A and B are shown apart, each in its own frame.
Chain A
Amino acid sequence: MKIIVAIKQVPERDAQVRIDSSGKWIEESDVQYAMNESDAYALEEALQLKEKHSGEVIVVSAGPERVGTTIREALAKGADRAIHIDCNNLNDRDALGVAQLIAAAIRSENADLVLTGLQSDDLGYGQTGVILAELLGMPHATLILHVEKTDLGLKVKRELEAGWFQEIEIPLPAALSIQSGGNKLRYATLMGIKKAKTKEMRVVNAADLGEAAAPVAVLEEIELPKKQRSTQIIPGDAKQAAAALVEKLKFEVRVL
């Protein structure tokens, strides 16, 4: 099975973020980057499918030069080769614009399966996998926790809301967006890290993948979120704060 996994590099989860001078994004020099969490699960699913059924795992990622470190991480975990879509203004594109970029870069690979994470931890559109399927003319399924190969294609386990699930049969080629938690993530081994350095990472310039259409969904500005409740922050060291909170729980919330 030839499997393509689209991965995104996003600011680390606990990164302290500041709005930059454009008012449209964050100060990038402040933050460290990591592989988007659900994308790591998509990669894991791809690697496990390859181990069971043989084939090839190709990762694709769009973004500036720094994305290379996340791509190397995926190669170190066991992906066979990579495509880096070099793009310095990814945020100027909407979900369709990004999916068009990725579709143009992977179309000629004619993969059997295209995997993405469910949603990015930065912009959180949660649409790339579904739009990719649409652009590549493939059926898709989302929120997938488990993938099993069958004679006809795949049988996948889809998460529904509130603790329900569903199995879906889907023919290949197909695109799946993977929910986190379905597998246990592996670590890169020292050998894997060493091997990754020799694996193919093809760099494609975004400008060579076709003109970007004007975005339909335009991010105009970002701001701090509005508070929904007025939070009373309880001061003091751990002991003082704990004692003060117990007073509140006893006399105001009345649960003690």
Chain B
Amino acid sequence: MKPEYRLHAKLAGMMLILVVLHILTANLVTIASVQPSFLLIGIGFIAVRHGQLPAMLHAFPAGLLLDLYLGDVVGISALSLVIAGFVAGYFHHEERAASIIRSPRMVWALLAAAFAFHAIFVFTYVQTLEIDILGTVLKHVFGATLYTTVVGTIPLLLIARTGGGLKV
């Protein structure tokens, strides 16, 4: 198998595990109905490490899988994740990817991606509902963005501590 294919298989496997992890454990870490997106953390790492294209290509099926199981609107997570992957991809640098992933720049990448993800998700979802938009945005966009970034920082710190031992 070509190394490129092997990489994509590995990333697809990782995303599948993250989908399962999200389905099984997201409710356990929910705070005031705000939960982090494990998929987004994975997509953020893929985007910074490998670029926009792989991030988007893996974001779409993962998001779709999640939508099919959890969402009442199929395609909404897929769209949000694809765009989040695209945004996080701007922090990718071909030659310095390995070092960026261990640097504070990765936190900014996650923050930007999380904001894009939650903002698109919420605005797409609530556009037909008669709810308190400001409250929803504060809670489910800014709150969820912050929460996802914080959770995403944990593997970042782990990677930083392991040096080159752990590869994403």
Q: Do A and B come from one complex?
A: no
A residues engaging B (CB < 8 A)?
A: none
